[in-house]
Every structure is written in structure tokens, then in C-alpha cells.
Amino acid sequence: MSVKYFPVTRERLEELAETYPTPFYIYDEKAIRENARRVNRAFSVFPGYREHFAVKALPNPFILKILAAEGFGADCSSLSELFLAGMAGMKGEEIMFTSNETPAREYIKARELGAVINLDDITHIEFLEKTLRPGPGLPDLLSLRYNPGPLKEGNAIIGKPEEAKYGFTREQLVEGYKTLKERGVKRFGLHTMVASNELSLDYHLETGRLLFELAVEIKNRAAVNLEFVNLGGGLGIPYRPEEEEVSWEELAGGLKKLYDEIIAPSGLGGLAIHTEYGRPVTGPYGWLVARALHRKSIYREYIGLDACMADLMRPALYGAYHHITVPGRERAGAVKTFDVVGSLCENNDKFAVQRKLPEIVTAAENGTGDFVVIHDAGAHGRAMGFNYNGKLRCGELLLRPDGSVLEVRRAETVEDYFATLDTRAVKNFVP
Ligand SMILES: *Cc1c(COP(=O)(O)O)cnc(C)c1O
């Protein structure tokens, strides 16, 4: 069982909503910091451990600054994400640049920042070298991304490795490291990312074993001593209350056993472990707060919110479960069955389908409407937001450890929506 909490009372929400109308995201700084400390403590059994937080999960520079203060680096995959990491004060090898189908200017920016470039394909060795010439040339340190193909089972979100577009094959890796060495690269990393939202401890340990054995194979076949292995992200969180979390201690402890068994006797002593967790770092500590606007009774009972799938796409995209609570009605018991829906003109715009919930009062009924809190939205939540149907993306609040609330991103306005259009040109345009 996982415990679903929400750090703000209904009374406080009423106050907040006067300044920041719903919907909004709110993140719990204290909980994020405590979690980050647990990560670092658990993985401190490895030499040179570093977590590169996957920026795509929660691309807010305030959050990144908090994580940087806890010693985390960043994992970036685009130009904007590189800027975000820079804005948070992260620099050099604290930044991992794991991209694919990478445009030249992104490699140039990553090189400028001194980020660790992680190549997705063997042809990118040549491409990177050309891109950086004339100029700084290849960096001393490069990392390669591995795709284990049929050696590894996939999972629902990321698919089977064999069908995934990412990474080098095993043979390409061996060849790739040899080529890098010939071209003057001196330091090497190995990376993989094979699952997403995976809650099986064994799955992650198996990935560790695969990479540790591969590190030894690379030493033997390419005569390259890796400096680090990056295990990627993909650790799941218990979205459903009945699911169990994988604790950082069991994960790091299990990996350490394999490390001692495989790496220690191989002569690769000192091999550093890096990770790129996103979801389990911030996911459980962020919520989407909306209000119930309308009730509708047809073949099913619907509660319509002022948020929609443009604010949180996971349920529509993956059929993902997000726990829902109604502040102030915790004791009422789940007495009704609702589809909790948004306003997009898409029938999959449903935050919950046939969900048992307390009775919910809507704004149409009492003028304000109950708050509806959607849990575990702190990763891949606001980040996946979009403007389809002319929907404006909501803002983000940060609950500080002293109980104060800071707006860390304002809600979009209609002006933002039109900012990329030249409205004068539209007026003058004669079709
Ligand atoms: C998405 C991604 C991550 C983070 O995944 P989570 O499921 O959020 O932990 C890490 N590394 C890479 C390369 C990714 O694409």
C-alpha cells in the first residue's frame, strides 16, 4: 500500500484560489528535498554517484535549483532543457545530454556547456566530429547509449527494446568505443534506458546486471575502461494506492550486490554509477488542483472540471491511473461512481473512469465547487501540457518548507496563445 497525501487543507486552498484561480499545479519542496536526500544516501554505497534529474519530467527552473542544492545534476534532451539546467546553476559534467535525432546546434550548445554528450547512434560519432570542427573538436569524455534489443523485455510505456528507436546494438558499442579511442577521446561512459514507470525491483536489478556485464565485455573487447555507467530512469511510482513503491534502499542495495559481484573483480574498480530518475524524484510530490464545475447525468454520472487533458495528459495518453481526492470530504467515503472529465473536445479527456468517490458539489450548484485534487502529477504532468483546442496551460505553485507559497510559473493568458502569431499580418493578409 502507498499512502496518498496532500499537504494543503481545504481552507488554505480557498485562500490560494483567490490569488491563483484553479487549475494549478502545486509542488511540495520539503518532500522533494527529503526524497532527494534519500536517493543520495541510498546510492552513496557507490563511488562517484550522481543523479541527473530528467528535466523533461518537471522542467521548472525553481525545482531544478532545489535539486541542484541537493547535489543533483540534470539529464537534458533539447536546447531548451540545456538552458533550463544552466538557469538552475548546473554546469559541466553535472549535465548529461541524452538526445536522439539531434540537430547540430544542440550538440554545439551541449559542448559549449561542457555537458556529457551521450550519443544515440554510431553514425553520430562522425556527425558530432564534423559538427564540432572547426571548433573545439570531440570532447575528452563521451558516453554511448545501449539498446539491448531482444536481451531485455520491454514494458507498456516504452515498448520492447527491439522495437525502440534508441541506442547502439552491442556490436556497434564495441566498434563505437574503438572508434572514439582512435579519434582521441579519453574518457568513456555507458548509458541505457529500457523501461518506463516500472515497479518491479527485479527488472531494474536485471538492467544493472546487463550493464555491469557489458562494462566488463567492453573492457575486454574494446580495451576501454569505462568511467561511469548510467542506469537511466524508468523507476515507477505507485500511482494506485494498492501498489508498492520500490524503496531507494532496496534498489541501491540490490545493485551494489551485483556491482560487487561483477565489477569489483573485473579491474574496473572505481566505476561510477549515475542515474537519470525523473518520475520517482518529483512525481508523488506534485498535484494538479482543479475545481468541479458541472455535473451531468446521462448514461453515466459525470463531474466536469476546470482542468482538462491539456493540463495532464497521462490518463488520456496511456489510460494511466491518477488517484483523486476531494479536500474536506475525506470522511465522506466513496459513495458515488463518476467519470471525472475535462472540457476538451476529445472523449478520452477523462481523469478518471467509473471511479468511486465521495459526493462532489459543483460550482454550478453552490457557486464555487469542491476542489478536486489529482495526485502523483509532479512528473510528466504540466510538462506534457499542450494548447490543443486553444486551451491555456495552467500555472505552478511551490509550497515552501516554511508553509508559504510561491508562484513558480504563472498561468498562460490569451496573449501568450497569440504570441507566435503576427496579428497585423493576419489582418493584412489577402487570400
Ligand atoms: C524520460 C527519460 C528519463 C526519465 O524517466 P523517468 O521515467 O521520469 O524516470 C531518463 N532518461 C532518459 C533518456 C529519458 O528519456
CA 196 to centroid of ligand 1, rounded, Å = 7
Sign of the alpha-carbon dihedral angle for 67, 315, 96, 230: positive
Residue 167: CB within 6 Å of ligand 1?
Answer: no
Q: What pLDDT score does 153 carry?
A: 65
Residue 75: CB within 6 Å of ligand 1?
Answer: yes
Q: What pLDDT score does 156 carry?
A: 53
SS3 category, 133? coil
Q: Measuring CA to CA, which residue among 346, 357, 345 is closest to residue 302?
A: 357
Q: What pLDDT score does 269 carry?
A: 85
CA 383 to centroid of ligand 1, rounded, Å = 13
Residues annotated as catalytic are 345
> Would the pLDDT of 178 be above 80?
yes
Q: What is the percentage of the chain residues whose pLDDT exceeds 70? A: 98
pLDDT band at 410 (very low <50, low <70, confident <90, very high): very high
- Nearest-CA residue for ligand 1 atom 3 is 233
Q: What pLDDT score does 163 carry?
A: 83
* Max Cα distance, the chain (Å): 74
Q: What pLDDT score does 160 carry?
A: 76
- Nearest-CA residue for ligand 1 atom 10 is 233
pLDDT band at 150 (very low <50, low <70, confident <90, very high): confident
**What is the Cα–Cα distance from 96 to 400, expressed in whole angstroms?**
28
> Would the pLDDT of 218 be above 70?
yes
> Would the pLDDT of 236 be above 60?
yes
**Mean of the per-residue pLDDT values of the chain:** 96
pLDDT band at 86 (very low <50, low <70, confident <90, very high): very high
Residue 278: CB within 6 Å of ligand 1?
Answer: yes
Q: What is the percentage of the chain residues whose pLDDT exceeds 90? A: 93
Q: Region 228-255: what's the mean pLDDT?
A: 97
> Would the pLDDT of 152 be above 90?
no
Asked whether the beta carbons of 214 and 167 are under 8 A apart, the reply is: no
Residue 98: CB within 6 Å of ligand 1?
Answer: yes
**pTM of the prediction?**
0.96
Q: What pLDDT score does 282 carry?
A: 98
Residue 193: CB within 6 Å of ligand 1?
Answer: yes
> Would the pLDDT of 158 be above 70?
no
Q: Region 381-396: what's the mean pLDDT?
A: 97
CA 290 to centroid of ligand 1, rounded, Å = 27
More confidently predicted of 331 and 96:
96
> Would the pLDDT of 2 be above 90?
no
Q: Could you tell me which residues come within 8 angstroms of residue 361 by beta carbon, excluding any fewer than 6 positions away?
A: 292, 369, 370
pLDDT digits (tens, 9 = 90+) for 199-208: 999 999 999 9
CA 89 to chain centre: 19
Sign of the alpha-carbon dihedral angle for 82, 322, 338, 295: negative
Pick from 50, 56, 78, 157 the residue to mutate for probing ligand 1's pocket: most ligand atoms within 8 Å of its CB. 56
| Domains of the chain by start residue, with CATH | 29-281 (3.20.20.10), 284-417 (2.40.37.10)
Residue 383: CB within 6 Å of ligand 1?
Answer: no
Q: Region 314-343: what's the mean pLDDT?
A: 95
Q: Region 218-230: what's the mean pLDDT?
A: 97
Q: How do strand 395-399 and strand 405-409 relate by DSSP bridges? A: antiparallel
Centre a 10 Å sphere on the Cβ of residue 339 and count the other Cβ atoms it contains. 16
